[in-house]
Amino acid sequence: MTTAVRATVFTHRGAVRATNEDALAVGPATVTGLSMRTPLVVDLPVPALVAVADGMGGHAAGDVAAGHAVRTLAAAAPGDAVALTYAAQRVDDDLLAMGRGDPAVAGLGTTVAGVLVTPDDAFHLGIGDSRVYVGYGSYLSQVSTDDRGAGGGLTRCLGGRADREPLMITAVFLPPTDRVLLCSDGLSDLVADEYMEDLLRGSDTTTAVTALWSAAMDAGGRDNITIAVVEWVD
């Protein structure tokens, strides 16, 4: 039975963007609007939720959307897959209502990638193109699906649409694993999975997270970069 996890998180505006529209939920805490200098390591009792949100760049109030998403998820403190799904649906409903109520933020939306660890199970949630990877020994495998069309645009996100049709959201069972990597596309668009795997292999997590960020910056850092690694500590 799992009693605790360790989350190592980092978020940065990148080399090009003036602001950071990514956000993090780390248990009951959130990180929004910051460019961190070093990764933050937090031990969390279970059930524990860690999530990355990427406000839609180029759209109105992307930072508002991402911030609202992580605050809502953190405040919900979900204890199971049903509660996690409900919290994500609430974020979607809230963002749609905010967009309808204020023309200045019409169309605001965000991606979310998250993992919920309970004493007996774990679940992941992926909406948009922020990713969830699992690590098995020295191997890394993506378990989320990128919600992108042929032209690269998002086909699904929380909020960000004119219609009121409900979004189908499902928290998916996560098979046993050593650790989980969550990231925004500021990392995964610039750093190949194989290189991420190499950087995570054989390094302590703080060093690995810093190396992942450095690799994205070396590749141009054209977007905000957010990384979270979740490890089982017992």
Cβ–Cβ < 8 Å for 69, 53? yes
Domain residue limits at 175: 4-232
pLDDT band at 150 (very low <50, low <70, confident <90, very high): confident
Average pLDDT over every residue of 27-53 = 98
Q: What is the DSSP letter of 78?
A: -
Mean pLDDT over the full length of the chain:
95
Please state whether beta strands 158-159 and 139-142 pair in parallel, antiparallel, or not at all (unpaired). Answer: unpaired
Q: Give residue 59's pLDDT band: very low, low, confident or very high (50, 70, 90).
A: low
| Count of structural domains within the chain | 1
Average pLDDT over residues 153-181: 91
Residue 36, pLDDT score: 98
Which token pair is 132? 């969830």
Residues 129-146 pLDDT 10s: 999 999 988 899 999 999
Q: How confident is the model at residue 57 (pLDDT cuts 50, 70, 90)?
A: low
Q: How far apart are CA 214 and CA 233, in angstroms?
A: 26
Map residue 38 onto helix, strand or coil.
coil
> What is the value of pTM for the model shown?
0.96
Question: What is the Cα–Cα distance from 8 to 39, expressed in whole angstroms?
Answer: 6
- pLDDT per residue over 99-120, tens digit each? 999 988 989 999 999 999 999 9
User: DSSP 3-state assignment of 120?
Assistant: coil
Single-letter amino acid code for the residue at 149:
G
Q: What is the CA radius of gyration of the chain?
A: 16
Instruction: Please report, for the domain that includes residue 101, its CATH number.
Output: 3.60.40.10
Q: Which residues 6+ apart lie within 8 Å of 84 measured at CB?
A: 49, 73, 76, 78, 114, 116, 123, 125, 171
Q: How high is the pLDDT of residue 50? A: 99
